[in-house]
């Protein structure tokens, strides 16, 4: 047995070295010595590009640093399931009013540019001025614990007051992020960017492609805008706009809403049937009949035996829990969605960023006696959104803040729910998404109390 790393090799050579093992009896280190950059390019051209063996490209990894891009653009970049991201935090860093994105399209319309810029300036002015009063209220609420290190206390308090101030940040705020992806996923991500209606995102896609070509000159060479997807988006939007909606406008009360809109009514039986199928040599139908004959107590006993020892969110239930799905319709603040979007082992359908639903006002804003200034700034941003939307539909969301309400459809399996609720309900999390994850838990607990009682939800 030999297990070792292939060190200091270009990503394309690594990909070819691993790919060749399917037909070569040689050891990997021997194969690697025979592969050159020229031969790897020819190999990838033949097998990945011409013959479509895309899995080979999954062995070539890219680390791309992306700087000074808007929060709105980051949504598109991070919407890819098979990649890893780390970005600038709004909980630990103060954002700079000089680092904002102004759409190029506004250059042709000085009036719109002025409306946009005035709203941005007002938001950032209020954001900066909110920090001190919120900070003072937080420190009074949470005095330093006995024997607590001063630096640890300050860091803990910083995240608390910045959690509130960040509601004022617009989606035009610029941030940095690091992206790690294999060449196959990277190609898909770049294709999505090049196909996006926003010029900023298209430009990011072009620059990412250029950087990727320096790392893997063959594997991402042919990525381009996907005309099929572009045309589909346009057709679907036109088709959906034909629907004559007579719904009365939502009466927004500044509260998070969570609806469980679809789920497996027989979740317990579905999981137990799959587990019995796994360990006994019988058909699925036979396994299902056996489980259906069991009473509530018998089923509960089986679940207790496999779940009662869960102590951490990293203790995962058996994979058979993935056969059960839940779909939620959430109305949350954009800041909460911005954090939820990073949980990618699920399917998410966010609605477009809009001012139509209204916005949230944290209690600490009121306690800090800055409610008037806060609401004035966000009202100006909302008004600017509606004016910009009439002429620049795609660019209007740049002005939307983290306080604005947004709807998102989220579908995930029960195994992921164990992790998601455990992670997002923790005390260290932002108070807004904590509340949403606790409400998600309550819906699951009502539907399936036998299963939900083992989820490590933090209700404090």
Q: For residue range 172-188, list pLDDT tens digits in order.
A: 999 999 999 999 999 99
Q: Identify the pLDDT of residue 288.
A: 98
Say how far residue 85 (Cα) sits from the centre of its chain.
10
**Are residues 86 and 334 in contact, defined by beta-carbon separation less than 8 angstroms?**
no
Q: What share of the chain is helix, strand, coil (3-state, %, to 5)?
A: 55, 15, 35
Longest Cα separation, the chain: 73
Residue closest to 68 by CA, chosen among 225, 173, 203, 220? 173
Confidence of residue 248 (pLDDT cuts 50, 70, 90): low
Confidence of residue 246 (pLDDT cuts 50, 70, 90): low
Token pair 């294709």 in the structure block, residue:
191
Residue 60 half-sphere exposure, CB side, CA atoms within 13 Å? 30
Between the two ends of the chain, the Cα-to-Cα distance in Å is 50
Residue 400 half-sphere exposure, CB side, CA atoms within 13 Å? 26
Question: Model confidence over 252-282: pLDDT tens digits?
Answer: 778 999 999 999 999 999 999 999 999 999 9
Domain boundaries, the chain: 11-67+178-239, 260-348+407-452
What does the buried/exposed string (b/e) look like for 127-157 if buried means 16 or more CB atoms within 10 Å of the residue's CB?
bebbeebbbebbeeeeeeeeeeeeeeeeeeb
How many whole angstroms separate alpha carbon 148 and alpha carbon 116?
Answer: 45
Question: Model confidence over 329-353: pLDDT tens digits?
Answer: 999 999 999 999 989 899 999 999 9
**Are residues 438 and 446 in contact, defined by beta-carbon separation less than 8 angstroms?**
no
Token pair 């995930």 in the structure block, residue:
412
Question: Model confidence over 131-150: pLDDT tens digits?
Answer: 999 999 999 999 998 899 99
CATH no. for 260-348+407-452: 3.30.1360
What does the buried/exposed string (b/e) look like for 115-125 if buried means 16 or more CB atoms within 10 Å of the residue's CB?
bbeebbebbbe
**Are residues 72 and 353 in contact, defined by beta-carbon separation less than 8 angstroms?**
yes
How many whole angstroms separate alpha carbon 100 and alpha carbon 104?
Answer: 13
pLDDT at 62 over 80: yes
The residue-averaged pLDDT of 153-158 equals: 89
Six-digit token pair at 70? Answer: 């808007």
pLDDT at 247 over 70: no
Residue 182 or 243, more confident: 182
pLDDT at 250 over 70: no
**Are residues 337 and 353 in contact, defined by beta-carbon separation less than 8 angstroms?**
no
pLDDT at 249 over 60: no
Mean pLDDT: which of 44-58, 207-221, 364-378 is highest? 364-378
- In terms of DSSP bridges, do strands 257-263 and 325-333 run parallel, antiparallel, or are they unpaired? antiparallel
**CB atoms closer than 10 angstroms to residue 252:** 14
The torsion angles phi and psi of 148, rounded to 5 degrees, stand at: -75, 135
Tell me the C-alpha to C-alpha distance, in Å, between residue 259 and each of 97, 220, 459.
37, 41, 19
- Average pLDDT value for the chain: 93
The residue-averaged pLDDT of 395-404 equals: 98
* DSSP 8-state code for residue 323: G
How many whole angstroms separate alpha carbon 349 and alpha carbon 352?
Answer: 9
pLDDT at 321 over 70: yes
The residue-averaged pLDDT of 35-59 equals: 79
How many whole angstroms separate alpha carbon 130 and alpha carbon 113?
Answer: 26
Confidence of residue 430 (pLDDT cuts 50, 70, 90): very high
% of the chain with per-residue pLDDT over 90: 79
Q: Identify the pLDDT of residue 304.
A: 97
Alpha helices of 197-262 — where are they, by DSSP H?
199-215, 227-241
Question: Model confidence over 281-290: pLDDT tens digits?
Answer: 999 999 999 9
Residue closest to 164 by CA, chosen among 192, 136, 185, 145? 136
pTM of the model: 0.92
Residue 422 half-sphere exposure, CB side, CA atoms within 13 Å? 19
* DSSP 8-state code for residue 399: G
How many whole angstroms separate alpha carbon 281 and alpha carbon 328?
Answer: 36
Three-state DSSP class for 298? Answer: helix
Six-digit token pair at 16? Answer: 């070819």
Q: Identify the pLDDT of residue 56.
A: 84
pLDDT at 251 over 70: no
């Amino acid at each position: 047995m030999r297990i070792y790393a292939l060190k200091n090799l270009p990503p394309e050579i690594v990909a070819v070295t691993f790919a060749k093992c399917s037909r070569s009896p040689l050891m990997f280190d021997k194969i690697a010595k025979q592969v050159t950059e020229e031969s790897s390019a020819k190999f990838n051209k033949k097998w990945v590009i011409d013959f479509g063996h895309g899995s080979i490209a999954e062995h070539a990894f890219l680390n791309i640093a992306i700087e000074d891009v808007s929060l709105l653009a980051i949504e598109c970049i991070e919407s890819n399931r098979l990649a890893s991201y780390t970005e600038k935090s709004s909980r630990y860093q103060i954002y700079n009013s000089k680092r904002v994105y102004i759409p190029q399209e506004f250059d042709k319309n000085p009036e719109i540019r002025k409306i946009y810029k005035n709203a941005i300036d007002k938001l950032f002015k209020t954001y900066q001025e909110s920090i001190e009063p919120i900070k003072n209220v937080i420190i009074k609420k949470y005095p330093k614990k006995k024997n607590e290190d001063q630096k640890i206390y300050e860091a803990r308090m910083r995240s608390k007051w910045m959690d509130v101030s960040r509601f004022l940040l617009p989606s035009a705020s610029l941030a940095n992020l690091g992206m790690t992806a294999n060449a196959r996923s990277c190609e898909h991500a770049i294709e999505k960017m090049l196909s996006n209606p926003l010029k900023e995102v298209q430009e990011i896609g072009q620059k990412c492609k250029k950087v990727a070509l320096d790392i893997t000159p063959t594997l991402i060479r042919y990525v381009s805008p996907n005309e099929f997807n572009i045309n589909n988006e346009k057709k679907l939007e036109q088709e959906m706009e034909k629907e004559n909606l007579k719904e009365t406008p939502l009466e927004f009360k500044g509260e998070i809403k969570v609806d469980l809109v679809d789920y497996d009514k027989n979740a317990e039986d579905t999981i137990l049937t799959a587990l019995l199928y796994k360990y006994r040599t019988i058909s699925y139908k036979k396994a299902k009949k056996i489980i259906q004959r069991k009473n509530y107590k018998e089923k509960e006993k089986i679940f207790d035996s496999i779940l009662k020892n869960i102590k951490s969110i990293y203790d995962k239930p058996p994979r058979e829990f993935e056969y059960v799905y839940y779909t939620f319709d959430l109305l949350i603040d954009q800041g909460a969605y911005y954090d939820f979007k990073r949980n990618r082992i699920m399917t998410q359908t966010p609605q477009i960023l809009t001012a139509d639903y209204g916005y949230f006002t944290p209690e600490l804003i009121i306690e800090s006696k800055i409610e008037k200034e806060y609401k004035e700034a966000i009202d100006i941003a909302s008004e600017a959104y509606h004016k910009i939307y009439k002429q620049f539909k795609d660019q209007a969301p740049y002005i939307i803040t983290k306080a604005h309400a947004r709807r998102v459809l989220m579908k995930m399996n029960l195994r992921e729910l164990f992790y998601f609720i455990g992670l997002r309900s923790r005390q260290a999390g932002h108070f807004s998404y904590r509340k949403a994850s606790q409400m998600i838990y309550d819906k699951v607990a009502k539907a399936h109390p036998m299963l939900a009682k083992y989820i490590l939800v933090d209700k404090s």
